[in-house]
Amino acid sequence: MSEPISIDIWSDIACPWCYIGKRNLEAGLAATAADEDAPQVNITFHSFELAPDTPVDFEGTEIDFLAGHKGMPREQVQQMLSHVTGVAADAGLQHRFDLLQHTNTVKAHELLHFAKAKGMQHEMEERLMSAYFTEGKHVGRVDDLVALAAEVGLDADEAREALENDVYLDAVRQDQAQARAYGIQGVPFFVIDGQYGISGAQPPAAFENVLRDLWSQRGQDAQAAPAAQN
């Protein structure tokens, strides 16, 4: 039995392309699941803050934020958001930028590390992204994050204690340091088996091809190893 392929994903829950990339990866995995020898994978999410200087309670819309943060004309921002909304829809997602509450995401990243320690990182990642992009919920305040943690089955009191005491802040910073070491400047960024980098929200077929190729190579290497020993 070959070792599972490791997929390390640097993302920010406030990154619309990260949610799209997550869905596309899931679609690629679903397409390979029917293979006679389907690739086995281990997926880990890592922290990346797109705008660490954002206040927890930003006053204004997503258009206001992007126009000010990136210095873009409001009309250009609106066109960009419309484009992203269309791409998200193609991936089966509903991005509601009209509802979105822009916020600082460091506490959300701490919560993801807490969830990881409890074996529920994937559920927490999905819940946070859905809350942020589809439901217009606040994901920067401790009370709101604790409520979302409880929704996926995590202990609310333990989650609150972890967030209020910055228990996982060092883990967030370690992820960010690793991103810098890899030279990651934008997300989503996928590191496959610690050696292959895939940048951006690639289509499902791109993930299908990479995973099938790597898994096939794993099988060939596994068969060649006993022969080499003989």
- Residues 89-122 have pLDDT tens digits of 999 999 999 999 999 999 999 999 999 999 999 9
Domains, the chain, ordered by start: 5-229 (3.40.30.10)
Q: What does the pLDDT read at residue 74?
A: 95
pLDDT band at 146 (very low <50, low <70, confident <90, very high): very high
Q: What is the pLDDT of residue 220?
A: 81
In what side-by-side order are the strands of the sheet with 189-192? 41-47, 5-11, 189-192, 196-199
The β-bridge partners of 8 are 44, 191
| Predicted pLDDT of residue 82 | 98
Closest CA to 83 of 134, 27, 20, 139: 20
| Model pLDDT, residue 79 | 97
Contact 32, 5 (CB under 8 A): no
Query: For 151-182, how does the pLDDT look when each residue is reduced to its tens digit (9 = 90+)?
Result: 999 999 999 999 999 999 999 999 999 999 99
**What confidence category does residue 1 fall into, taking pLDDT thresholds of 50, 70 and 90?**
low
Among 68, 85, 79, 69, smallest CA distance to 19 is for: 85
Which band of pLDDT confidence, cut at 50, 70 and 90, is reported for residue 17?
very high
Q: Is 194 a residue whose pLDDT tops 60?
A: yes
Q: Is the pLDDT of residue 188 over 90?
A: yes
Q: How far apart are CA 24 and CA 19, in angstroms?
A: 9
Strands 5-11 and 196-199, bridge-based pairing: unpaired
pLDDT for the residue 195: 87
Question: What backbone torsions phi and psi does residue 77 show, to the nearest 5 degrees?
Answer: -60, -45
Q: Are 45 and 168 in contact (CB under 8 A)?
A: no
Position 221 scores a pLDDT of: 74
Q: Give pLDDT, residue 70.
A: 81
| Mean pLDDT along residues 140-160 | 98
The token pair at 192 is 């496959």
Mean pLDDT of the chain: 94
pLDDT for the residue 227 = 52
How is residue 194 annotated by DSSP?
T
What pLDDT, on a 0 to 100 scale, did the predictor assign at position 218?
A: 86
Sign of the four-CA dihedral 138, 143, 145, 150: negative
- In this structure, what are the phi and psi dihedrals at residue 203, rounded to the nearest 5 degrees? -65, 160
pTM above 0.85, yes or no: yes
C-alpha distances (whole Å) from 92 to each of 23, 28, 85, 215 are 8, 14, 10, 27
Q: What is the CA radius of gyration of the chain?
A: 19
